[in-house]
Chains A and B, each alone.
Chain A
Amino acid sequence: MSSTASPSRRVAVPVEVREALTTREVVVDLRPSTLLPALFCLGAALLISDYAWLPPAPANQVLFWAGILTCFAAVALAGLQERAVQRTHVLGLAALGAVLWIPYLLRSPAYPIFVDDLFHLQVLHEIAVRAHTDVPVTLYPIPGAFPGLEFCALAVHETTGLSLLTSGRIVALAVHVALPVLAYLLAWGIGLGRRSAFVAALVYMTNTSYYFFHSAFAYETLSILLVLATGAVLALSPRRGIGRKEAALLAVLVLATTATHHVSSYLLAVGLALTWLVTRLLRRPQRGLGAITALALVAPVAWLLLRAPHTQDYLSSAFSARIHGVVDTLTGEHGGGRRQLFGVSTVPRFEQFVDRAYPVVLAALAVAGLWGVHRSDRWRRNPLLAALAVLGPLAFLGLAPLVITPASDVVYRSWPFVFIGLAVYAAVGLATIVRRQPHVPWAAAGVLVALLLFCGISIGDNQAGRFPSPQPKFAAGPGATTEDVIAAAQWLEAEAGPLNVLAADSNTAAVFATYGSQRALGWGNWTPFILPTRAALSGYLRRSDIRYIVVDKRITTLPPRYGSYFGGGEPRERVYAPGRPFPRSRLKKFRTVPRLSLVYDNGDIQIYRAARSAGDGGRG
């Protein structure tokens, strides 16, 4: 990008007009930079029009990328100018953050479909009704244990009078807008120049969670904001000591993170502890950092023990499942190490091809950034910068190879945190390259970041598919949360009341647990489906407390979105081969079991009711 702007062409304005407008300078400025807001609006209009009229492929994809990349170009062209001020950077990043939230909303404007949205909105609804966080368990084991997100939506709801759904979406939008701005302030606070900090914020937006996952009403969406804000305040604080004012701000943010998301609070504590350790190793202690670190370490433990003791089982099982994934990968057991990249992706093949550049480019920038910081010697004087080297680029380089293993989930979930440091170092790497190679303009850095943004959006795209469609491509995933499934869940609650135990595939279970307030089995839900005979199923129903079996008939025609129809533990090898849908024959037995009545059928969803004991006709 050229740093010398062309002179503006001033058009002669009649004297009388000039005199009439004495307080304002009338300039018909035709410099390209003055048209950047129009360029941004053009991109946003293209993107929104794409979702408004949904043209057939590939026009929809072309419009989608044209819209996003036009918005990005407008923001980058404005922010990468040498004389760009903080206002330009902040407003540009906020505007880009808002535009990148729009596809999430327009994918399903009428009702949420992503499972995290469903869960947190249900908890929000229950909390609003009960005025306390002790809400019943329907599917997920820890409702109300980390209620920070719900509290924020409740605050919006009660101060505005807006619906709970709208309030939740407003919180998510506000967070999505603020995330890149805070990444910018963090990088600037660490000591990067304004333009480099702007590049760092753009790189942060390319992490695979930002575009979709952090658009959702999920507790990590809020917690990553709080973690970034903590980092920004820490970076802006005086190097020699954290004053009382900063300590007050940091304490509020740390405690709020603790009440919002378990893993985020642990990672924040680790980050602060590492920073504290580095200050000691470099003999540049920062007064007050130890106390904040101690608070960050103690608060999550205290919360876990006093406020959410039942969360320990949930966390330990989730942690052990991920460790097993890594071990299976290393040992090759249970099909370990055979993860197929883009195996269930809905993005076009062209994008999948380009996406392979993502880790390579990021790794190169991480190395360039580490080299640039090392040569500058800044890390010796800036312990936070040194700590971010470990938590950012080095962590990325260490974890990135795991994306080709079944433990990839761990890697992807860690990237929003890793990218805080990685973005800073990548920006340093880009700035160093641009300055060392005079023939490389800043625009080249912008193009490289645009490539990363393309890949980040594509890899982390909406798990329900990019565009709305009445016919999903996958079963047992958010794309299968169609209006008829929601209607079935609401019908069951109206007819049979809440908290009936039911078995269904994983996505249908989530819909019935949230929209229908039913108690869906999260483990063993596959048993009635895979039992081979009517007699076996009858015996199972007699022993279990299952009241309803909900069948999404699309599992017999569509592949599963996440590799399994009923969850990670299902014994699929006993029932169906990989790449084949669930056998229709296993569903036919439901029609022949004497204990089961088929009480609802809407084409996609069938609901079977199991008779209880003597004399039971039941409601519904």
Chain B
Amino acid sequence: MVAVADGVQATWQANGHAEPSGVGWPANSLVLAAVTLAAVLVLIEEIAPVPAPVRVPAGLLLSLAGPGFAGLLALRPRWLTPWTHVALSLPLSLSAAVLYAAVLDLTPGGFGGSRMPVGIAVLTLGLAAVSVESGNVVLPGAPAGRRLPQRVRPAAVVPVLLLAGWGSFAFAHAMQRNEAPRYSVLSAGDSLARSGSGTVFAVSVANHEGATRTYRINVIDRRADGARTTRRSLSFTLGNGDESTHRVSARCGRTTEIKLKSPGRHHVRRDLLLRPPCRGGRLR
């Protein structure tokens, strides 16, 4: 039983939540100031453009933490510690966005225009005002909890910086890496003209093979009795990412085959079968 008691004491907190209360957390006023500034910047954005390097971090801070952080500070439950405050800011901010947008969805204009960012910013400013008014914010310079230790640790900082630099380089490389397959596209797009006897199609060839390639197109008419006639043949070269479009007429009652070939190590063969319907609904 003694062993169990030891285990219990190590496993559980001795006297409930022994952590200090969030009151007096010296950074909360700074974070609240940042959140407030972010809300103001988002409101300014509605009047005049704010540069992206400022708008993006401000918007992220506001949308992911603003209402939650200010709301918790306004309510300030007794169990609030700095880290519960930070951790709960995200779900509460997202919840506030969800509920606000759900209400907007019921209105005729929905969340069009600037209703979302303005609403979130105003809500955050309102909650920040309540938290200041209720005396829950420790202003800078006031006696507060202990400061975070500041130590210069070259032995740790140098490898961290080196590895972070390497990781950032690798990350940028990985984000640009493209493992997409190489491919060529043969397609029959919008019909350009239509008459009683047939349709003219825009047949396109697109090269996504990663290199310049030479293509050859054969247009073959096939009658109902199976007879085949090569009507047209042409060759052309396309650079990577280039596209070439050709007019091809297809007669109703027949099947027009369009065959695409490109020789090389990675041999390309594509084909289309065009069967334009005749007027009156006769298909062949």
Restricting to B41-72, which residues have a CB under 8 Å from any CB of A? 42, 45, 52, 55-56, 58-60, 62-64, 71-72
A487 CB within 8 Å of chain B: yes
A349 CB within 8 Å of chain B: no
- Of listed B174, B270, B273, residue having the most chain A CB within 10 A: B174
Residues of chain A within 8 A of B173, CB atoms compared: 52-53
Residues of chain A within 8 A of B284, CB atoms compared: 594
Given A151-B102, A253-B95, also A161-B55 (CB < 8 A): yes
Contact status A236-B84, CB under 8 Å:
yes
Q: With CB as the reference atom, state the residue of chain B lying closest to A255.
A: B99
Contact status B151-A25, CB under 8 Å:
yes
Residues of chain A within 8 A of B180, CB atoms compared: 110, 470, 482-484
Residues of chain A within 8 A of B152, CB atoms compared: 21, 24-27
Known pairs A378-B8, A591-B273, A598-B271 / 15 extra A-B pairs, C-beta < 8 Å: A27-B153, A28-B154, A161-B45, A161-B56, A188-B17, A189-B17, A249-B88, A253-B92, A255-B95, A432-B11, A491-B185, A600-B272, A601-B186, A601-B270, A619-B191
B163 CB within 8 Å of chain A: yes
Residues of chain B within 8 A of A132, CB atoms compared: 105, 110-111
- 1/0 per residue A75-116: CB within 8 Å of B? 000000000001100100000000000100010011000000
CB A17 to nearest CB in B, in angstroms, measures 11
Contact status A41-B164, CB under 8 Å:
yes
Q: With CB as the reference atom, state the residue of chain B lying closest to A35.
A: B156
CB B181 to nearest CB in A, in angstroms, measures 4
Contact status A52-B164, CB under 8 Å:
no
Residues of chain B within 8 A of A226, CB atoms compared: 91, 94-95
Q: With CB as the reference atom, state the residue of chain B lying closest to A232.
A: B88
Q: List 18 A-B contacts (CB under 8 A).
A: A35-B156, A41-B164, A52-B173, A87-B83, A109-B177, A152-B97, A159-B58, A229-B91, A232-B87, A375-B8, A432-B7, A483-B178, A487-B183, A487-B185, A495-B187, A600-B272, A614-B279, A620-B189
A421 CB within 8 Å of chain B: no
Residue from the list B10, B166, B277 in contact with A617, Cβ < 8 A? B277
- The 5 A-B pairs of least Cβ separation, nearest first, read A160-B59, A614-B281, A131-B112, A159-B59, A256-B95
Stretch at the interface among B74-82, B137-145, B213-221, B231-239: B74-82
Given A34-B155, A598-B272, also A54-B10 (CB < 8 A): no
Residue from the list B75, B111, B160, B274 in contact with A599, Cβ < 8 A? B274
Residue from the list A24, A245, A256 in contact with B76, Cβ < 8 A? A245
Given A35-B156, A90-B86, A252-B95, also A29-B151 (CB < 8 A): yes
Contact status B178-A252, CB under 8 Å:
no
Residue from the list A161, A222, A249, A596 in contact with B94, Cβ < 8 A? A222
Residue from the list A49, A90, A152, A248 in contact with B87, Cβ < 8 A? A90
Roughly how many angstroms separate A67 CA and B98 CA in the complex, as a whole number? Answer: 36
Stretch at the interface among A191-199, A208-216, A332-340: A191-199
Residue from the list A42, A189, A229, A604 in contact with B163, Cβ < 8 A? A42
Interface residues of B (CB under 8 A from A): 3-4, 6-8, 10-13, 16-17, 19, 42, 45, 52, 55-56, 58-60, 62-64, 71-72, 75-79, 81-84, 86-88, 90-92, 94-99, 101-102, 105, 109-114, 116-117, 120-121, 149-156, 159-160, 163-164, 166-167, 170-171, 173-191, 194, 199, 208, 268, 270-277, 279-281, 283-284
Residues of chain B within 8 A of A495, CB atoms compared: 187, 189-190
Residues of chain A within 8 A of B153, CB atoms compared: 27-29, 34
Chain A interface SS verdict (over half): helix
Interface residues of A (CB under 8 A from B): 21, 23-30, 34-35, 37-38, 41-42, 44-45, 48-49, 51-54, 86-87, 90, 102, 106, 109-110, 130-133, 147-148, 151-152, 154-156, 158-162, 170-171, 174-175, 178, 181-182, 185, 188-189, 191-194, 196, 222, 225-226, 228-229, 232-233, 236-238, 243, 245-246, 248-249, 252-253, 255-256, 259-260, 372, 375-376, 378, 427-428, 431-432, 434-436, 468-471, 482-484, 487-488, 491, 495, 591, 594-604, 611, 613-620
CB B151 to nearest CB in A, in angstroms, measures 6
Given A86-B83, A613-B281, also A191-B95 (CB < 8 A): no
Contact status B111-A154, CB under 8 Å:
yes
Residues of chain A within 8 A of B72, CB atoms compared: 249
- Of listed B7, B91, B187, residue having the most chain A CB within 10 A: B91
Contact status A470-B105, CB under 8 Å:
no
Roughly how many angstroms separate A146 CA and B272 CA in the complex, as a whole number? Answer: 42
Contact status B98-A256, CB under 8 Å:
yes
Roughly how many angstroms separate A132 CA and B12 CA in the complex, as a whole number? Answer: 49
Contact status A24-B151, CB under 8 Å:
yes
Q: With CB as the reference atom, state the residue of chain B lying closest to A377.
A: B8
Roughly how many angstroms separate A189 CA and B83 CA in the complex, as a whole number? Answer: 12
CB A101 to nearest CB in B, in angstroms, measures 12
Residues of chain B within 8 A of A619, CB atoms compared: 190-191
Given A245-B77, A435-B6, A617-B276, also A45-B167 (CB < 8 A): yes
CB B149 to nearest CB in A, in angstroms, measures 8
CB B282 to nearest CB in A, in angstroms, measures 9
Residues of chain A within 8 A of B181, CB atoms compared: 470-471, 482-484, 603-604
Residues of chain A within 8 A of B8, CB atoms compared: 372, 375-376, 378, 432
